[in-house]
Amino acid sequence: MNSRLFPTKWASAVFVAWIPIMACMPAHALTAADPARFEEAISGFESRDKATPAPKNATLFVGASNIRRWDSLQKRFGKTVINRGFGGSHMSDVAHFADRIVIPLKPKQIYVNAGGNDLHGGKSPQEVLTAFEAFVKKVRPALPEARISLLAIPPSPARWEEVGQVKAANTLLSDFCAKDGGIDFIDTFSLLLGDDGQPRPECYVEDRLHLSEAGYDIVTSAIKWQGAINALIKLDATAPPPASPIVFVGSSSIVKWKTLAQDFPGLPVINRGFGGSEVFDSLTFAHRIVIPYRPRQIVFYAGGNDINAGKSPERVFKDLQAFAARVHKSLPETRISFISVAGNPKRWAQVQQVRTLNQMVAEWVKTDLRLDFIDVFHPMLQPNGLPLFNIFVSDQLHMNEKGYAIWTKVVAPYLK
């Protein structure tokens, strides 16, 4: 510094004052991130789209590396899924390139996940919100029918010191989505934390920054079921649950059990099923739709959708054990009664996996007096070992009133 232009005394004071400011700023925050650094990746997307046109009415995921690295997207959400993640991107980059990698594809559903790199690069939570607003302002007029959903910025062990900024940004983004009314904010942040309030280690790969398949399991569950879970919770406002209830939870065979209260008169039963769900989904949302009721008993039915999705009996069994462990950690006295996976005509080709899973659960419950195994599989069969066809509706998957009559008779003795 030229002392003739800036006296030495003042120069020293300014230099000393500048040191703590510099120490608090990430080096990479001193220069604004230039979207041009992704030109090669964006041009690559455009070239592939030109060579192989995108499917119509697709579901598009766009954002940073947790989107780019999500190799199981199509397996989880179907063939009409497009991945437009580009690693290291900021929310501002997603907005900048929306007219090149989002709008031309005309998706019916858009999931956005970015913002963590912005914060890590020194941007404020407000700047993340401003960038997302820019994305919405660019996309909505061009694709007025497309639904936009925003995934929360996830926590990560590698950047845990930034968690305050992440929480602040998620709050701003959530409030904006709620005020807008047409954007879903999907809260994956809380689901990726353990009971200790720290990121769940199994949800991250070795770098402790990016999601593992276990982490993607949770994000998938949140995307598919957050709306249904919120709707179930809203029921409590109009019909407050009884004290110490018996909670029925699980997949569509629970959802469709409309006569639950009249089938078990005098018992405080409540239905918290959500159709199409797998065991892992009830595990993911147990803290919202099971544990808060402090039930005396839980009647659980799920697993058939898991097997149909290609999961092994061993994996489903592991998830059932995890569900019980999570419940008993908070509610050690609660009884859990597992209804066996039922056989049905539509999925009869999977019956061996179903039998294997049921046998595993039947043996396991013998080790814990707080667990039951309720066998509905065999009462639903003909003498020749095939399913009773007249107890199912036309889809040959879900039960009619005759099927539920069988379940009522079998389940009743287990209710306390």
On whether residue 6 sits in a domain, the answer given is no
* Co-location of 140 and 262 in the same domain: no
On whether residue 349 sits in a domain, the answer given is yes
Q: pLDDT band at 411, cuts 50/70/90?
A: very high
The proportion of the chain whose per-residue pLDDT surpasses 70, expressed as a percent, equals 92
Tally of domains in the chain: 2
Residue after which a domain boundary falls, among 225, 251, 268: 225
Q: How far is CA 47 from CA 51, 63, 206, 351, in A?
A: 6, 19, 33, 45
With contact defined as beta carbons under 8 Å apart, do 246 and 297 qualify? yes
As a 3-state breakdown, the chain gives helix, strand, coil percent values, each rounded to 5, of 55, 15, 30
pLDDT in tens, 319-338: 999 999 999 999 999 999 99
Q: pLDDT band at 32, cuts 50/70/90?
A: low
* Co-location of 190 and 42 in the same domain: yes
* Co-location of 216 and 286 in the same domain: no
Q: What is the CATH number of the domain that holds 380?
A: 3.40.50.1110
| pLDDT of 202 above 70 | yes
- Average pLDDT across the chain, whole number: 92
Write out the two tokens for 364: 């396991």
Find the domain containing 121 and state its range. Answer: 32-225
pLDDT in tens, 235-261: 998 889 999 999 999 999 999 999 999
* Co-location of 190 and 248 in the same domain: no
* Co-location of 279 and 195 in the same domain: no
This prediction has a pTM of 0.87
